[in-house]
Amino acid sequence: MARLVSLWRNLAHRNRVDRELDEELREAFELLVEEKLRSGLAPDAARRAARLELGSVESLKGQVQEARAGAGVDAVLQDVRYALRSLVRAPGFTAVVVVTLALGIGVNTAIFSILNAVLLRPLPFPEPDRIVRLFHVPPQATFPGMARFSLSPANFFDWQRDARSFEGMALYRGRSFTLVGQEEPRAILAAAVGAGFFEILHARPELGRVFRADEDTPAARVVVVSHGFWKTRLGGAPDVLARSLKLNGEPYAIVGVMPQTFSLGSWFAASREIWVPLALSDAERAVRENHNEQAIARLAPGATLAQGLSELEVISKRLEQEHPQENAGWGATLAPLRDVIVGDVRPTLVLLLAAVGLVLLVACANVGNLLFTRALGRRKELATRAALGAGRVRVFQQLLIEALVLACAGGAAGVLLAYASLRAFAAMLADQVPRADEIRMDLRVLAFALAASILTGLLAGALPAFRAGRAELTDALKEGGRGDSALGIRTRRLLVVCEVALSVVLLMGAAVMLRSLVALRTVDAGFDSQGVLTMRVSLPDTRYPKPAQRTAFFDTALERLRALPGVTAAGAIDDLPLMGGSVQPIVVEGRPELLPRDQPTVQVRALTPGYLRAMSIPVVRGRDVEPGDVEVLLVSRGAATLLWGDGDPIGQRVTLPLVSRTLARQVVGIVADVKQDGVTERPQPTVYSYTRERSSARLTLVARTSLPPGSLAPVAVGVIRALDPEQPVQEVRTMVEVRDALLSSQRLSALLLGLFAALALALATVGIYSVLSYIVRGRSREIGIRSALGAQSRDVVRMVVREGMTPALVGIAAGTLAALLASLSLERLVFGVSASDPLTLTAVGSLLAIVALLASLVPAYRAARVAPSTALRD
């Protein structure tokens, strides 16, 4: 308690306390003088003796101050003030350091903001950790490597009935409607949700209500709209609950409006404009062998993820026995909703954070070097302070505090920089990263920036402060202004080695990502994406209820497309290559039927004549489908091998049991393999069906043109409009755009890594340059003597360049080793190139060697121009 009072007094009334101390010590001196006088000394001798016994009043004061309560706090405040003053006096130095640190801390803060929004922040629903997605685990023989699969309705309803660890379960799926209103017809994205969907999320409507359980029936015509839809499409009408929407030609009563906070951009079920009941018919609810449904659930209070999982596993084991025909080999699993949403980007974000961490380290090395130079330049000042009673610890503390003040200034500037660039980052990431719409700065981001600043200050400041504090202070005083010649050269070399090594690692990462991107763009996916325009048309069943109407629509549309100038071929398919699609078991006629678990599966696509030509997918044997065909199949080369080995598939008949157990169709041709599930996947065995009279309602039209495909878009859309003015056309894109869109996240990480690597390289270049400049300046006397003794300027250049290149080469070697280690974690993220590719390593190493050489040449030539007389005179 007494100490607390003293602490308060010392800090709050420092001046008075200091004055009193001063007075006390002066009085002690006077008393001592009198004592000496009394013992018979002459006045002069008495004062001298007293001074000798008491020591300097100033240093005595320092000793008392250090013993006092709050001495630490006091000294820190004093040092902060001192640091601010001396930094203001060196504006150039301060600016360089603050800008360097602002860049380093800024990129770290920006990337952390993204990581925070995407990976750390909870989903905007109450108790979000209890919300899970439910999946089937498919039989591994037919779906090798696939861990999660959609659900079959009948199995889901069995889980829902029997599982006890869950508060609720609900199905949902995406759906699209044609909305006809005052504007032109528009395809509107909806989520069809089963009973209990909103309750599971604990989400309440802003207006009205969500669906009642008895509305989950095919007859119900009710809709819940999003806040955004209400505000923009309905003009925020207050009587919204009395209105209805005309979807696919039928009126749906609006029963509720979901609040803005419900909208979770990265999860379609929560981000769509409207919601309708899923409304499965009794027949649909009984389907067990077809797996197309998505499901969420909420764990019951007190139930753990593991309990939920083991309960589902027990139930699906039982279902396997009860329904072996459909369920053999189909297990169950679950995962937190958040993990499902953000699962894929975690490695990329962690990689980017590691990259900016390295950038910050390079910045630290640069700043460390600058601080070191400054500390050595101030040795006289520091020595004077030491002589006046500042202990070595105090000098160390003061230098460290100066570094921390700089780091905090840099951090503050960095936060501003990150704040300014965050919008651009978020826009860039919008399509590639889930939850990008939620990126913003919050307290956690600011805490991160503060921690990064402090760490940076300690890291950059500790070594210079330690080395300068250790330098013999008396030497500094004795030497006078001259001769900071060789001090700390080793420390500086070490900094250069570190900077170069870190840059090698970053450049290596960026180069590998870039090469991977090039490989992904140029990889042969089995078709020619140049010169192709695509667009999607979904015909609503309300307006095209009969298959024949749909067939007629698409036939006419394709005919008119082919008639357009420049169009050389046109056709349609249900799912474009690389985009994934239906996977089904297949049965060859005449062979014994296997259990579903043992049946081979193939990708199944529906196409029209002209599609293969439009995509330049060659027919290897047999023929393409023709307008005269009724029910025929094409198989890919891979499917032919899978099903018939060396045998001839042409003329064979197969059934797709999920489509129809009784319909056997004849194979008329073999086509080349195409990658169906993505550029990085192998081509999967594929079966293409053509059914003249049963055209799908949803097809993507593709047209090959000799003109730039983008320029064809308006006329192509015009063709559909002319056929049916109420029919929306979606996703009008060139095939190159389709392909590139799939690579956007790779492109982004390559771009960002490249940016960060360039930043690191620039910092390292500046670092090498400034270290060498310093060394040259320090050794100008030596260089002058050498020149005077007859050294050629060539020799001087060589000497200085060697001085710069040695640590750079050591750094390149160390960085290459580190890059090889780091490549182990990169291997999963790259395609078509090894993360430890020797060519890339060599290129990166050479680049850095060249940059180091250039950074050394300027100081070297400057050194060579030093006139011996100037150097010697200085």
Partner 1 sequence: MTGRRAALLQGTLDLLILKALAAGELHGLGVSRRIEQITGGTFVVQPGSLFPALHRLEEAGWLAADWQPSENNRRAKYYTLTKAGRRQLGEEKAVWNQIALAIARALEA
Q: Is 69 in the site for partner 1 (CB under 8 A)?
A: yes
**CB-based contact 163:169 (threshold 8 Å):** yes
Beta-strand runs (E) in 164-314: 166-179, 186-193, 207-208, 222-225, 244-247, 250-257, 274-277, 294-299
Beta bridge partners of 133: 296, 335
Work out which of 49, 60, 99, 742 binds partner 1, going by CB under 8 A: 60
Name which of 49 and 523 has its Cβ closer to partner 1. Answer: 49
Site string for partner 1, 18-37 (x = CB under 8 A): --xx-xxx-xx-xxx-xx--
CA-based torsion, 496, 499, 501, 507: positive or negative: negative
Q: Does residue 46 belong to the site contacting partner 1 (CB under 8 A)?
A: no
Is residue 67 involved in binding partner 1 (CB under 8 A)?
yes
How far is 719 from 726, CA to CA, in rounded Å?
A: 13
- Copy the structure tokens of residue 425: 């980052």
Nearer to partner 1, 69 or 588 (CB): 69
How far is C-alpha 797 from the geometric centre of its chain's CA atoms? 45
> Which residue of 3, 19, 317, 802 would you call a contact of partner 1, by CB under 8 A?
3
Minimum gap (Å) between residue 9 Cβ and partner 1: 9
Q: Does 387 bind partner 1 (CB under 8 A)?
A: no
Q: Of 21 and 853, which has the nearer Cβ to partner 1? A: 21
Q: Measured from the CB atom, is 6 or 271 closer to partner 1?
A: 6
Question: Are 206 and 259 spatial neighbours (Cβ–Cβ below 8 Å)?
Answer: yes
Does 306 bind partner 1 (CB under 8 A)? Our answer is: no
Judged by beta carbon, residue 30 or residue 593, the one nearer partner 1 is: 30
Q: Which residue, 72 or 259, is less far from partner 1 as judged by CB?
A: 72
Nearer residue to partner 1 within complex by CB, 67 or 443: 67
Residue from 11, 49, 66, 829 in contact with partner 1 (CB under 8 A): 66
Residue 3 Cβ, how far from partner 1 at the closest point, in Å? 6
User: Among 63, 232, 260, 706, which residue interacts with partner 1 (rule: CB under 8 A)?
Assistant: 63
Minimum Å distance from CB 42 to partner 1? 18
Q: Which 8-state DSSP code applies to residue 195?
A: T
Instruction: Choose one: 64-72, 118-126, 209-217, 619-627; the region binding partner 1 (CB under 8 A).
Output: 64-72
Tell me which stretch binds partner 1 (CB under 8 A): 63-71, 372-380, 427-435, 463-471.
63-71
Nearest 5°: the CA angle 845, 851, 856 is: 125
Of 28 and 203, CB closest to partner 1: 28
Three-state DSSP class for residue 659: coil
Residue-wise burial string across 374-392, b where 16 or more C-beta atoms lie within 10 A, e elsewhere = bbbebbeebbebbeebbee
C-beta of residue 579 within 8 angstroms of C-beta of residue 667: no
- Minimum separation from the CB atom of position 17 to partner 1 (A): 10
Q: Three-class SS of residue 160?
A: helix
* Under 8 Å between Cβ of 297 and 305: no
Binding region for partner 1 (CB under 8 A) out of 51-59, 618-626, 650-658, 715-723: 51-59
- In whole angstroms, the minimum distance from the beta carbon of 389 to partner 1 comes to 10
Q: Of 30 and 598, which CB lies nearer to partner 1 in the complex structure?
A: 30
**C-beta of 63 vs 660, nearer to partner 1:** 63
1 binds partner 1 (CB under 8 A): yes
CA pair distance 857, 607, nearest whole angstrom: 65
Do the beta carbons of residue 244 and residue 138 sit within 8 Å? no
Stretch that binds partner 1, among 50-58, 297-305, 361-369, 675-683 (CB under 8 A): 50-58
In this complex, which beta carbon is closest to partner 1, that of residue 5 or of residue 788?
5
Residue with tokens 């009408």: 237
∠ Cα 678 684 688 (to 5°): 105
For the bound state, the minimum distance from the C-beta of residue 54 to partner 1, rounded and expressed in Å, comes to 5
If we measure between CA atoms, which residue out of 305, 314, 302 comes closest to residue 340? 305
In sequence order, the β-bridge partners of residue 188 are 177
> Measured from the CB atom, is 25 or 495 closer to partner 1?
25
In the set 14, 47, 48, 68, which binds partner 1 (CB under 8 A)? 68
DSSP-derived letter for residue 746 is H
Site residues (CB under 8 A) for partner 1, limited to 316-355:
none
Amino acid code (one letter) for 374: R
Compute the least distance from the CB of residue 11 to partner 1, in Å. 13
Q: Which is nearer to partner 1, 13 or 661 (CB)?
A: 13
- Minimal distance, residue 71 CB to partner 1, in Å: 10
Task: Yes or no: say if 166 and 134 are a contact pair by the CB < 8 Å rule.
Answer: no
Element at 665 (helix H, strand E): strand 665-671
Site for partner 1 in 801-820 (CB under 8 A): none
Least spacing, CB of residue 64 vs partner 1, in Å: 5
SS3 866: coil
Q: How far is the CB of 61 from partner 1 (least distance, A)?
A: 9
Nearer to partner 1, 49 or 234 (CB): 49
Residue in the block written with tokens 């603050």: 98
From candidates 11, 64, 809, 818, binder to partner 1 by CB under 8 A: 64
Piece of the chain touching partner 1 by CB under 8 A; list 66-74, 238-246, 608-616, 625-633:
66-74
Determine contact, residues 223/253, Cβ cutoff 8 Å.
yes
Task: Out of 53, 541, 589, 726, name the contact with partner 1 by CB under 8 A.
Answer: 53
Pinpoint the alpha helices (H) of 204-345: 227-232, 268-271, 282-285, 305-322, 324-327, 337-342
Indicate whether 54 belongs to the interface with partner 1 (CB under 8 A): yes
CB of 434 to partner 1, least distance (A): 57
Checking DSSP bridges between strand 207-208 and strand 250-257, what pairing results, if any? antiparallel
Sign, CA dihedral 253-258-263-269, equals negative
Site membership for partner 1, residue 472 (CB under 8 A): no
Kindly state the smallest distance separating residue 75's Cβ from partner 1, in Å: 15
Q: Find the helix or strand (DSSP H, E) in which 96 lies.
A: helix 91-115
15 or 321: CB nearest partner 1: 15
In angstroms, what CA-CA distances link 632 with 431, 556, 615?
39, 21, 20
- How many residues form the binding site for partner 1 (CB under 8 A)? 27
From residue 701 to residue 720, the character string flagging contacts with partner 1 as x (rule: CB under 8 A) and all else as - is --------------------
* Pair of tokens at residue 354: 């590691």
Q: Which residues contact 638 (CB under 8 A, 6 or more apart)?
A: 673, 683, 684, 685, 686
- C-beta of 10 vs 534, nearer to partner 1: 10
Q: Compute the least distance from the CB of residue 20 to partner 1, in Å.
A: 7
- Structure-token match 């690692």, residue found: 505
Q: Site residues (CB under 8 A) for partner 1?
A: 1-3, 6, 20-21, 23-25, 27-28, 30-32, 34-35, 53-55, 59-60, 63-64, 66-69
